């Protein structure tokens, strides 16, 4: 590979980094997409121009088939079904890593990594690492897709001694990996790959459907590391860099999602390890009385508020109600009411999905706030309007709700000290209207 190819790969890598930076904000997301598309065009074009690439008809035929299938899926897929689509695509990345590693083992001369029986130890280690991670990604992504699509039950599937069994299988994979790197045995490679497929299945089945978005994000990270490992095997710097970008960004995103959902990142990585105790904590919350009300009651509260925070969730996305919510927000703004949208990281099942839905409904970007940005505002707002998001309302808001009482949000009434609710502060506590 000449210096010009390395330079083009470097340019492509820089464009991918700029794409990630652009996608971090709704205002720059379109530009980020363009950077990513340009980087991919350069990457694919550079790869096809490599001297060792000769069978162009077969490559173009495969690209045409994949392009037709991908375009068809993209046109029909609903936004609420994006998580399972992402899981399905990740499974393909994992399987690609396994197949490339197997091809390199059976025909090392074609990849320039030595000859059969004389592959360097380092290449074998890179190959086996990419294979194991890729196999786990494939089988885990298939289970995640099946749970989200409703093909299999979303309930956690567990059996006695499951964690101990997983540890034994993981130890066996590690032992086989060491033996394979020392012997270059194709039989050991096959056995190691099959066990990796199995551990991927075992890690995901004990995780419930509600946690699948976090699992998909982690599998996204796995697919990146698998691609990076295969990049070392092929000696492809672009695959190494982009794989590392996907792997690290997926891991960071998974941590953010776990923190937002009060889940342990280790539960996700190790297949719900310790989830029994977590479930006890989750179900041990104190029950509080719920006051039912009519639509007229809700309208009265909203109309008499000075500030409203709307918390949309997956239920709103499924109902395709984002346009109606936007119309309601516009009517409130006409009355001089300050309206904000609070977005939980997994409000649309995956980060960013709810932002896309609201952007589709022409909700201004400056009205949409992330969890950390708006949590403190709940202490001073008059009404919090939660629609289809009961399961993702951040429990950290409990600390804020202790400082205010949304049930007494009557800014036009007067309290015993003859002051307006929205303006009065007696000490540190907001004034409450009392009959």
Point out the residues that are catalytic: 391
What whole-number distance in Å separates Cα of residue 151 and Cα of residue 145?
A: 8
Q: Do 232 and 240 form a contact (C-beta atoms < 8 A)?
A: yes
As beta bridge partners, residue 385 has 310
Q: Count Cα atoms within 13 angstroms, Cβ side, for 430.
A: 23
Query: What DSSP letter does each residue of 342-389 carry, written as one string?
Result: EE-TTTTSSTTHHHHHHHHTT--GGGEEEHHHHGGGGGT-SEEEEES-
CA angle 407, 411, 416 (to 5 degrees): 85
Backbone angles phi, psi at 186, to 5 degrees: -70, -30
Residues contacting 276, CB < 8 A, separation 6+: none
366-371 contacts at long range (C-beta below 8 A, 24 or more positions apart)? 367/329, 367/339, 367/340, 367/341, 368/26, 368/340, 368/341, 368/343, 369/340, 369/341, 369/342, 369/343, 370/343, 370/345, 371/260, 371/342, 371/343, 371/344, 371/345
Q: How many residues does the chain have?
A: 435
Nearest Cα neighbor of 1 from 39, 46, 63 is 46
């Amino acid at each position: 590979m000449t210096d010009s190819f390395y330079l083009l790969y470097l340019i492509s890598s820089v464009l991918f980094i700029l794409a990630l930076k652009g996608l971090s904000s709704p205002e720059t997301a379109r530009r980020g997409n363009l950077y990513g598309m340009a980087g991919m065009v350069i990457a694919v074009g550079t790869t096809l121009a490599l001297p060792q690439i000769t069978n162009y008809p077969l490559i173009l035929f495969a690209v045409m088939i994949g392009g037709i299938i991908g375009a068809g899926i993209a046109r029909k897929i609903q936004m609420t079904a994006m998580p399972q689509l992402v899981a399905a695509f990740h499974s393909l990345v994992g399987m690609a890593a396994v197949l490339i590693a197997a091809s390199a083992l059976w025909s090392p001369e074609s990849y320039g990594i030595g000859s059969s029986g004389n592959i360097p130890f380092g290449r074998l280690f890179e190959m086996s690492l990419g294979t194991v991670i890729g196999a786990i990604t494939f089988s885990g992504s298939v289970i995640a897709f099946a749970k989200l699509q409703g093909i299999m039950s979303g309930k956690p599937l567990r059996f006695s001694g499951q964690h101990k069994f997983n540890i034994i299988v993981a130890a066996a994979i590690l032992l086989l990996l060491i033996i394979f790197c020392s012997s270059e045995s194709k039989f050991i490679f096959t056995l190691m790959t099959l066990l990796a497929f199995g551990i991927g299945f075992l890690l995901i089945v004990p995780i419930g459907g509600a946690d699948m978005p976090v699992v998909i994000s982690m599998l996204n990270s796995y697919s990146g590391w698998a691609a990076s490992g295969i990049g070392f095997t092929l000696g492809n710097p672009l695959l190494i860099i982009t794989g590392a970008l996907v792997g690290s960004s997926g891991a960071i995103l998974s941590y953010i999602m776990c923190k937002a959902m009060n889940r342990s990142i280790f539960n996700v990585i190790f297949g719900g390890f310790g989830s029994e105790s977590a479930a006890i904590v989750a179900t041990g919350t104190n029950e509080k009385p719920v006051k039912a009300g009519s639509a007229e009651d809700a309208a009265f509260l909203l109309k008499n508020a000075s500030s409203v925070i709307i918390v949309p969730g997956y239920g709103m996305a499924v109902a395709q109600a984002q346009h109606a919510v936007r119309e309601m927000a516009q009517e409130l703004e006409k009355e001089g009411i300050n309206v904000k949208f609070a977005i939980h990281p997994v409000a649309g099942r995956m980060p960013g999905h709810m932002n896309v839905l609201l952007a589709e409904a022409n909700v201004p970007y400056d009205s949409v706030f992330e969890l950390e940005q708006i949590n403190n505002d709940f202490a001073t707002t008059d009404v919090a309007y939660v629609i289809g998001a009961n399961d993702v309302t951040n429990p950290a808001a409990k600390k804020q709700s202790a400082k205010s009482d949304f049930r007494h949000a009557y800014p036009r009434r007067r309290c015993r000290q003859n002051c307006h609710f929205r303006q009065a502060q007696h000490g540190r506590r907001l004034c409450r209207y009392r009959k």
